[in-house]
């Protein structure tokens, strides 16, 4: 982490930013200096008639907007299709109780949260779980896109025995990852408790093989830094970190959920043929292709061959078409078509002269500041539809909604957008 920032902005928001470099000139200043320079908190204070100090609401809101706009930038997600194997060390070392109830228990909790977050942030990606115990690598789940399968399998296989072998684990993962299509990113995440690896052959060779196969290997350690793990990460371009406590462990594991920026360059863009299946009625009975049994309710129908599958995303078991749920894709579209930032209507009095100012916010009906009015704060205007909004709606529209209510309800603007 080159730039530890003290601002209260969540760091993970930055993952899809292309322009990390833009922050560079700031990096040589101290964190406290940056904070004060950005906020200029003294300007918020104003003296009123009776000599009391008051906080200027409008000024505060302006600063908040400035902070937010500094964070925004081009946000096209890159290289989003990842194929990741999570290698979990379930050797004797995982039974140690320096973390409560045991290392294994904590690791499973963290990995469960990680798996959900991973699919949330990487909608088309696949993940598989491999357990290292008794000196060999057990494949717990195949590469697949369904978080529930992995979590269920993990929860029902919580036993730790024998030794861990990094080499066996990497070889097994590599065997699967070399088969994946060229647009996918190959990754391994190793969560390692033991302080040694018991391998059948030369683990250095395996590290080189992984490097050759373009597999990015990262390790999160639980006990202490180990040379072979460090080497593995250095050679393959991964991240190596060792957790100091429970909270730190979770943080370190979750860091791998957003797509790694550096890898994006290596991937080949491609068009993937996909199907968007319909969900069946809740009381329909159908034969499902994945379990080969009769199932009640729910289920999805492959648009090409009409076979039924139970979960999305998956591959059609009959015709091989990749089936995804379209809302899953749509979650990231707001990055592609962001709402243009609103502009502050400065100098309310003269603006009021040109056109009569709307009394309330177009989105939420909250009263807006007027010249001489009681309401304090800023009045914002959408540059496209010219509707006026309050400070809170501006925030909500750009942070969560990603639609301008004014533009969306204006058929003239909508018809321009649709062309």
Partner 1 sequence: MARNPTDDVSQVVLLLDVNPFFWGAEAASGGRSNGSGGLAFDQYFQHALMFVNGILLLNHTNRIVIIATGSSTCAFLYDSTATDGINGSSVTSKANKKTQVSRTELITKSMQEFVSKEEEASKESSQIQYSNISGSLSMALCYIQRVLRGPLPHPQARILCLQGSPDAPYQYISVMNSIFSAQRNGVVIDACVVGSQHSAFLQQATHITGGIYMKPPQPDGLFEYLMMVFTTDLFSRQFLQLPRPVGVDFRASCFCHKKTIDMGFVCSVCLSIFCKHHQTCSTCGATFSRSNSTTVTGMKRKAPGS
Nearest residue (CB) to partner 1, 21 versus 283: 283
| Contacts (CB under 8 A) with partner 1, residues 38-77 | 76-77
From CA 32, how far away is CA 398, in angstroms rounded? 28
- CB 220, CB 191: distance < 8 Å: yes
Nearer residue to partner 1 within complex by CB, 17 or 392: 392
Reduce the DSSP state of residue 233 to 3 states and report it: helix
Query: Residue 151 touches which of Zn ion, partner 1, none (CB < 5 to 8 A by kind)?
Result: none
Can you tell me whether residue 86 is helix, strand or coil?
strand
User: Based on CB atoms, which residue is closest to partner 1, 75 or 230?
Assistant: 75
Ranges within 123-142 binding partner 1 (CB under 8 A): 123-124, 141-142
Cα(374)–Cα(360) distance, integer angstroms? 13
Q: Does residue 131 touch Zn ion according to CB under 5 A? A: no
| 39-47, 52-60, 84-92, 285-293 -> range binding partner 1 (CB under 8 A) | 285-293
Contact predicate 341/335, CB 8 Å: no
Q: Is 156 a binder of partner 1 (CB under 8 A)? A: no
Helices within 18-76 (DSSP H only) = 24-27, 31-39, 57-71
When asked if residue 116 is in the footprint of partner 1 (CB under 8 A), the reply is no
User: For residues 60 and 77, what is the distance between their CA atoms, to the nearest angstrom?
Assistant: 32
Query: 145 touches which of partner 1, Zn ion, none (CB within 5 to 8 A by kind)?
Result: none
CB of 141 to Zn ion, least distance (A): 22
352 touches partner 1 (CB under 8 A): no
Residue in this structure with the two tokens 């990487």, named with its chain if needed: 122
**Site for Zn ion, residues 296 to 335, rule: CB under 5 A:** 302, 304-305, 307, 316, 318-319, 321
Distance CA 298, CA 210 (A): 41
Q: How far is the CB of 144 from partner 1 (least distance, A)?
A: 6
The one-character DSSP state at 371 is T
Query: DSSP 3-state assignment of 21?
Result: helix
Among 57, 246, 276, 295, binds partner 1 (CB under 8 A): 276
Q: How far is the CB of 331 from partner 1 (least distance, A)?
A: 6
Q: 């039974």: which residue's tokens?
A: 95
Please give the residues from 380 up to 399 whose contact with Zn ion meets the rule CB under 5 A. Answer: 382, 384-385, 390, 393
Cα–Cα separations (whole angstroms), residue 88 to 4, 234, 360? 29, 20, 56
Using CB under 5 A as the binding rule, the residues of this chain from 69 to 108 that contact Zn ion are: none
Length of the chain (residues): 419
Interacting residues of 302 by C-beta distance below 8 A, sequence separation 6+: 275, 277, 308, 309, 316, 318, 319, 321, 323
Which 310-339 positions form the footprint of partner 1 (CB under 8 A)? 314-315, 317, 320-322, 324-327, 329-337
Please report whether residue 306 would count as binding partner 1 according to CB under 8 A.
Answer: no
Applying CB under 5 A, the residues found at the interface with Zn ion are: 302, 304-305, 307, 316, 318-319, 321, 361, 363-364, 366, 382, 384-385, 390, 393, 404, 406-407
């Amino acid at each position: 982490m080159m730039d530890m920032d003290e601002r209260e902005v969540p760091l993970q928001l930055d993952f899809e930013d292309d322009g990390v470099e833009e922050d560079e000139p700031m990096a040589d200043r101290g964190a406290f200096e940056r904070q004060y320079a950005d906020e200029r908190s003294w300007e918020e204070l104003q003296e009123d008639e009776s000599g009391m100090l008051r906080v200027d609401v409008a000024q505060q809101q302006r600063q908040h907007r400035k902070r937010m706009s500094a964070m925004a930038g081009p946000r096209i997600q890159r290289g989003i299709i990842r194929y990741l194997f999570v290698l979990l060390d379930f050797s004797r070392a995982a039974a140690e109780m320096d973390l409560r109830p045991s290392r294994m228990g904590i690791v499973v909790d963290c990995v469960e949260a990680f798996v959900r977050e991973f699919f949330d942030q990487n909608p088309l990606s696949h993940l598989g779980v491999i357990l290292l115990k008794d000196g060999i690598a057990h494949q717990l789940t195949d590469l697949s896109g369904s978080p529930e399968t992995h979590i269920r399998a993990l929860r029902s296989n919580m036993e730790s025995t024998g030794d861990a072998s990094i080499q066996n684990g990497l070889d097994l993962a590599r065997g699967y990852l070399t088969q994946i299509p060229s647009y996918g990113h190959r990754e391994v995440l190793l969560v390692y408790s033991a302080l040694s690896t018991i391998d059948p052959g030369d683990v250095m060779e395996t590290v080189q093989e992984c490097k050759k196969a373009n597999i990015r290997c990262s390790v999160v350690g639980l006990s202490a830094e180990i040379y072979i793990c460090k080497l593995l990460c250095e050679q393959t371009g991964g991240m190596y970190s060792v957790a100091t406590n429970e909270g730190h462990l979770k943080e370190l594991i979750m860091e791998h959920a957003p797509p790694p920026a550096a890898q994006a360059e290596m991937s080949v863009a491609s068009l993937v043929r996909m199907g968007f299946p319909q969900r069946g009625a809740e009381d329909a009975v159908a034969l499902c292709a994945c379990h080969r049994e009769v199932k009640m309710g729910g289920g999805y129908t492959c648009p090409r061959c009409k076979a039924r599958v139970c979960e999305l995303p998956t591959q059609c078991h009959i015709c091989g078409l990749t089936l995804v749920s379209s809302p899953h894709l749509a979650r990231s579209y707001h990055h592609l078509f962001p709402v243009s930032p609103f502009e502050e209507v400065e100098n309310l009095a003269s603006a009021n002269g040109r056109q009569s100012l709307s009394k309330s916010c177009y989105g939420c009906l909250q009263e807006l500041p007027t010249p001489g009015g009681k309401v304090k704060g800023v009045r914002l205007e959408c540059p496209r539809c010219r509707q006026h909004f309050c400070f809170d709606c501006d925030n909500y529209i750009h942070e969560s909604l990603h639609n301008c209510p004014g533009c969306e309800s204006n058929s003239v603007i909508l018809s321009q957008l649709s062309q």
